[in-house]
Structure 1
Amino acid sequence: MLTEMWPAGTATAKRGPARRGLVHRVAVTDVLSRVNAVAVLLVAVDVLAVAAAATAVSAHRGAALVLAATLLGVRASSRLYRRRLWLSWLHDLPRSVASTMTAFALLTCVALLTGQDPATTTAVQSAVLAFAVIGEPARLAVFAFGRWCRRRLGRCDRTIVVGAGKVGVDLVGTMLRHPEFGLRPVAFVDSEPQPDAASLPVELLDEDLSTAITRLRAGTVVLAFSHARDSPVVDAAIAAHRLGCTTLVVPRMFELHEDGPHIERLRSYPLVRLRSAPTSRPAWWVKRGLDVLLAAVALAALLPVIALCALAVLVESGRPVIFRQVRVGMDDRPFLLYKIRSVRIGDVDDSQSRWSVAGDARVGPVGRFLRRTSLDELPQLWNILRGDMSIVGPRPERPAFVREFSAIHDLYWARHRVPTGLTGLAQVHGLRGDTSIADRARYDNYYIANWSLWLDVKIVLLTVGELVCRRKR
């Protein structure tokens, strides 16, 4: 049932090695399913149209390359090659024309600013117009072919609908009557389904969503409304997101919802398409590359500082100078986190169960200085190089506290969808030490939902600013 999906108190326990294997299998399937035939054909049609247009106006090779890069780049940034439910050439035409006009204006400005001769400028402008004349009819044919394949060949995504109320039942009926939208419903997930749901040729499931996605090989999850009082729709969205499914959400007040960049249409129903998981985007590989580069450079540059800090700890309280502690990382995998020891070693090791050492007599002057300046965190650069952590991400916590906080705070477990970090959005908003766990979870989940490389840069800059201001106080 829906209410059984990863309840807060048992989320960590239910995601062990078997869960990680499940995530891996679905992730591989997801990569293959993302090769969308209509999107590939649209790219191919535009490439051929650019080549034909450049040949028709006899543009030289350099001008043809600039023409192709500008047109395809602008059209890609306008999301003309996106996955979509509604294969409508007329619906897409304004966006297509606008992107072509933008490319026309950009190429004209570049030609004027670089002092191109009038003949070359005219040839490039003519090529853009020829591209539109050649490309638009071809795009119309691609959309028609895509609809035909969905209707006749069953080229549809296997879809699970979460919520078997009136809206969910209507959505499934619409999918069955109109396969040209590319969704083939295979199951409902709802603890209190509407009676009409039983009359539809789809399963009513009595299992958690994650298992259903794997068993039914579903590629899309639609989140509709349920009559169940405790319907954890957000948990369902995160579960689908985490397993790599395309996630579509029926918005509240959908009758008044206007179209927008992330809105799909299933006949009269608007569906909000949630962005794919950050770790599945190409930009995430850029993030990982930057993590390795920056951590390696920082570790090499700061080795003398780390050595001095270690020497100060050694003089104040002896060995060991490096403190190792088990923390929980991405997908609940435990790892050893490294820090410069700031607390004197006692008779009892309470590091896994004691929340804060604020006011602890075991923290000497050196330890207080290291903690105040965050110099004790520098060995975590090694964790970043190893792949245990990232420079920016939710801060890692100890297993006992992960279990405790997951049982108390909504969606605390969902922080582990991405690697943990040396710094994070919660920390630059003052949530360090003994502060609100609920606020931290909200900031961390906001970070994951809105992740971008620019957001990481902002957090790093804010962290540097906070460290500088803290030293001045």
Structure 2
Amino acid sequence: MTELRTPPRSEVPRTRRYHRLAPTTRKRPLLTRVNAVVVLLVVVDIVALLAAAQLAGTTSLETIEAGVALAGARVAGRVHRRRLWLSWLQDLPRSVAASGIAFVMISCLLIASAPSRSGLTSIQYLVIGFAVLSECGRAWVFAFGRWGRRRFRRCDRAIVVGAGASGGDLIRTMLRHPEFGLLPVGFVSSGADSETSRLPVEIVRDGLAEAIVRHGAGTVVLAHADERDSSVVDAAITAHRLGCLTLVLPRLFALCPDRGGVDRLRSYPLIRLAGSPTRRPSWLIKRVIETTLAAVTLVVLAPVIALCAAAVLLESGLPVIFRQVRVGVDGRTFVLYKLRSVRQDAADDSATRWSVAGDRRVGPVGRFLRRSSLDELPQLWNVVRGDMTLVGPRPERPVFVEEFSAVHDFYRNRHRVPTGLTGLAQVHGLRGDTSIADRARYDNYYIANWSLWLDVKIVILTVGELFCRRQR
């Protein structure tokens, strides 16, 4: 990228947004966030554990040990998850498997501590008794939950987004079967369909975000779209940002099997989308770790940065630090810092020139800094400030954000998380003058699949890129 001068602070826009995004937070009453069925399932497990402990005659320590093993196995198996389809028989294999895993764990510990012991111990009887008692209680909870949803309409308000045919079928199914816990309150059409006017819910015309806030909706169901998929993707992002549960009806839903992350609304499989990464507790861990690492690295590499700055000064004079406006999370702009690698010129084309490959203004020092990526080191200060993260989609200049967003449907969606010093696209060879569509796909894949381990993998691959420079 061309880097020619430091823009005055008056030229740096502070409030302009390049994409109209929904608010990031929304307060909902506590009762609408608490799922009664989930609470009852937890209570049933606690009561079953205590009752089984009394029947087995275990000590307090043995009861605690069994409780920890059972809780860990059942949490890992998502036995207490929020669900639409309250079917005890459907959930029985998962629940029994979780209890069985806890039984095996405890048995292995007993064998390791006393290999000569034979027969079942009291703590093993406790786990068996828990499995029997908890399943009896869970059957009652599922039956009570279905009755409560039908009788008292204790349903989550839902807005359906999609084409008229599939969206209308989903709405009518929700209304006929409230035992699945969804009450449709609005429909956002993604195409022209005359049938939408006959739906027994509000036809939303003022935007999904406004409808979610107006109706207090907690669930957004994405059906098939008649137009480009980008409109449905935008709806999913809006739902995530407002803290809604997002369910997707797959196009080939008749072939979609029941598996993890798939719920059922009668015969319709609905895939649960993961929420926005920035709303997870692990994102706070990412932020703390990256800020600490960036600050420590700045201190450790301060002599290296000083030597590079001195080389820039000798080659092309002041200033040695180049500042450029970039677009970050939610379309907000910030000032990005780099070591200057391009000699200054009378004309400043840094905001509009895409690449400086082959530019005669790049001297030997500049070429070395760019080839070694040492010119990027001052961006660690952007990480410390909170403008960027270590790992995330790379930030781009405002003029190119507008241009790429107009051409590539999903480019703007990459701005729903903070930008990064390195990213998944960059470690797959997408640097410099490479495909923008591929970059957008990699960036959106990163956001959809984000985890702390994915960040670690990207950092490892980045180090490999810097030292090995593999040819792709």
The normalised TM-score by structure 1 is: 0.89
Residue type at the aligned position of 1:23: P
Give the deviation of 1:84 after TM superposition. Answer: 0.8
RMSD over aligned Cα atoms = 2.5
Match of 2:86 in 1: 87
Match of 2:181 in 1: 182
SS at 2:337 equivalent? strand
SS at 2:153 equivalent? coil
Match of 2:95 in 1: 96
Match of 2:431 in 1: 432
Give the deviation of 1:188 after TM superposition. Answer: 1.3
Residue 314 in 1 paired to residue 309 in 2? Answer: no
Alignment map for 1:22-171 (pairs within 5 Å): 22-26=22-26, 28-29=27-28, 33-115=32-114, 118=117, 122-171=121-170
1:95-145 deviation digits (Å, cap 9, x = unpaired) = 000111111111211222244884997122112112112212222232233
Match of 1:373 in 2: 372
Q: Does structure 2 retain, via aligned residues, the 8 Å contact 1:249–1:271?
A: yes
CA distance in 1, matches of 2:59, 2:310: 66
- C-alpha distance 357-228 of structure 1, shift in aligned 2 (>3 A): closer
CA distance in 2, matches of 1:269, 1:175: 11
Alignment map for 1:264-413 (pairs within 5 Å): 264-413=263-412
- C-alpha distance 133-361 of structure 1, shift in aligned 2 (>3 A): same
Q: Does structure 2 retain, via aligned residues, the 8 Å contact 1:39–1:81?
A: yes
Residue type at the aligned position of 2:262: I
Q: Does structure 2 retain, via aligned residues, the 8 Å contact 1:38–1:142?
A: yes
Give the deviation of 1:73 after TM superposition. Answer: 1.2
- C-alpha distance 438-33 of structure 1, shift in aligned 2 (>3 A): farther
Residue type at the aligned position of 1:223: L
CA distance in 2, matches of 1:194, 1:353: 42
Match of 1:466 in 2: 465
Give the deviation of 1:315 after TM superposition. Answer: 2.1
Q: Does structure 2 retain, via aligned residues, the 8 Å contact 1:30–1:244?
A: no
- C-alpha distance 334-30 of structure 1, shift in aligned 2 (>3 A): farther
SS at 2:409 equivalent? coil
What percent identity do the matched residue pairs reach? 63
Q: Does structure 2 retain, via aligned residues, the 8 Å contact 1:373–1:471?
A: no
CA distance in 1, matches of 2:309, 2:92: 64
Give the deviation of 1:198 after TM superposition. Answer: 3.1
CA distance in 1, matches of 2:44, 2:335: 51
Match of 2:8 in 1: none
Q: Does structure 2 retain, via aligned residues, the 8 Å contact 1:88–1:143?
A: yes
- C-alpha distance 196-288 of structure 1, shift in aligned 2 (>3 A): same
Residue 443 in 1 paired to residue 442 in 2? Answer: yes
- C-alpha distance 229-351 of structure 1, shift in aligned 2 (>3 A): closer
Query: Structure 2: any 5+ residue segments left out of the alignment?
Result: 1-15
CA distance in 2, matches of 1:117, 1:61: 24
Give the deviation of 1:463 after TM superposition. Answer: 0.5
CA distance in 2, matches of 1:441, 1:412: 5
CA distance in 2, matches of 1:302, 1:31: 48
Give the deviation of 1:47 after TM superposition. Answer: 3.1
Q: Does structure 2 retain, via aligned residues, the 8 Å contact 1:164–1:188?
A: no
Give the deviation of 1:237 after TM superposition. Answer: 2.5
CA distance in 1, matches of 2:25, 2:34: 17
Give the deviation of 1:12 after TM superposition. Answer: 5.6
**Which consecutive aligned stretches of 4+ in structure 1 deviate over 6 angstroms post-superposition?**
none
Match of 2:217 in 1: 218
Q: Does structure 2 retain, via aligned residues, the 8 Å contact 1:250–1:270?
A: yes
CA distance in 1, matches of 2:98, 2:164: 40
Give the deviation of 1:176 after TM superposition. Answer: 0.7
Match of 1:452 in 2: 451
CA distance in 1, matches of 2:120, 2:294: 47
CA distance in 2, matches of 1:422, 1:196: 49
Q: Does structure 1 retain, via aligned residues, the 8 Å contact 2:25–2:241?
A: no
The normalised TM-score by structure 2 is: 0.90
Higher mean C-alpha deviation, range 345-354 or range 127-136 = 345-354
- C-alpha distance 407-156 of structure 1, shift in aligned 2 (>3 A): same
1:294-341 deviation digits (Å, cap 9, x = unpaired) = 222222221221122122222222222222211111111111111122
SS at 2:175 equivalent? helix
Q: Does structure 2 retain, via aligned residues, the 8 Å contact 1:190–1:228?
A: no
Residue 205 in 1 paired to residue 204 in 2? Answer: yes
Query: Structure 1: any 5+ residue segments left out of the alignment?
Result: 1-10
SS at 1:206 equivalent? coil
Give the deviation of 1:260 after TM superposition. Answer: 0.9
CA distance in 2, matches of 1:291, 1:121: 49
Q: Does structure 1 retain, via aligned residues, the 8 Å contact 2:24–2:241?
A: no
- C-alpha distance 177-289 of structure 1, shift in aligned 2 (>3 A): same
Q: Does structure 1 retain, via aligned residues, the 8 Å contact 2:230–2:409?
A: no
CA distance in 1, matches of 2:377, 2:30: 36
Residue 251 in 1 paired to residue 263 in 2? Answer: no
Higher mean C-alpha deviation, range 178-187 or range 351-360 = 351-360
Looking at both structures, which has the greater relative contact order when contacts are Cα pairs under 8 Å and sequence separation is at least 6? 2
Q: Does structure 2 retain, via aligned residues, the 8 Å contact 1:161–1:168?
A: yes
Q: State the aligned residue count.
A: 456
Q: Does structure 2 retain, via aligned residues, the 8 Å contact 1:160–1:222?
A: yes
Give the deviation of 1:241 after TM superposition. Answer: 2.8
- C-alpha distance 86-467 of structure 1, shift in aligned 2 (>3 A): same
